[in-house]
A and B are shown apart, each in its own frame.
Chain A
Amino acid sequence: EVRLVESGGGLVQPGGSLRLSCAASGFTFSNFWMNWVRQAPGKGLEWVANINPNGSEKYYVDSVKGRFTTSRDNAQNSLFLQMTSLRTEDTAVYYCATAGFDYWGQGALVTVSS
């Protein structure tokens, strides 16, 4: 059974940093692209970033370029999202999802507020 479990969310002040993790199981993690998607409270879905199987290719939505970095550890079946220079508008539930968006985690809430 495919399982994705996000962790690392929390409350952070504007300008601060946070690192999200996504633990994957039930599939050969090292073979697949992975995605991050976020959802601000009461709003729709926004694709944030993705990364190729060996971590050499990464793409980001413009609003997070230069502030967020995605990475992965295939030995640990883990995906990461390092978020810096956080803004109030980054407040959202952050989901990791598989390559084709066929599996999603339960999400991690990131709240950016003073």
Chain B
Amino acid sequence: DVVMTQSPLSLPVTLGQPASISCRSSQGLVSTGGGTYLMWFQQRPGQSPRRLIYKVSNRDSGVPDRFSGSGSDTDFTLKISRVEAEDVGVYYCMQGTHFPFTFGPGTKVEIK
């Protein structure tokens, strides 16, 4: 199975400051069709997960443009350009290229 790792696991951030979360996969995530199925999810306390980013860098509708995704092959990053109070929660990366699909352990973002 593809193992997804994230760092850091805990990220205290000052409001208005940037934040960055790293996600690494144990195998390359480029599919035989050429797509890279790496997604990012936000889970606010008490809520269902919400997809933010799909196929590495595509922002979902309604997701603020302060969120951006980048990376390739086995190394990916989610960036928040200026953290707002509503960004508090746990962020997960997930690979949908290889079965079984696997999630990273999650990064808890909190306000300092």
Contact = CB atoms under 8 A, between A and B. Distances in A.
A47 B4 CA distance: 13
A62 interface: yes
B63 to A, nearest CB: 11
Interface string A12-38: 000000000000000000000001010
Given A95-B48, A102-B54, A104-B50, A59 B100 contact: yes
Contacts, number: 50
Interface in A1-58: 35, 37, 44-47, 50
Specify which of A95, A102, A106, A107 lies most central, judged by the most chain B CB atoms within 10 Å of its CB.
A102
Contacts of B94: 45, 47, 101
A44 B100 contact: no
Contact count band on A = 10 to 19
Contact of B99 (A45, A46, A59, A95): A59
B102 A47 contact: yes
Nearest to B48: A104
A95 B47 CA distance: 11
Given A44-B106, A45-B92, A62 B100 contact: yes
A44 B104 CA distance: 8
Interface of B: 1, 39, 41, 43, 48-51, 54, 60, 90, 92, 94, 96, 99-106
Interface of A: 35, 37, 44-47, 50, 59-62, 95, 100-102, 104-107
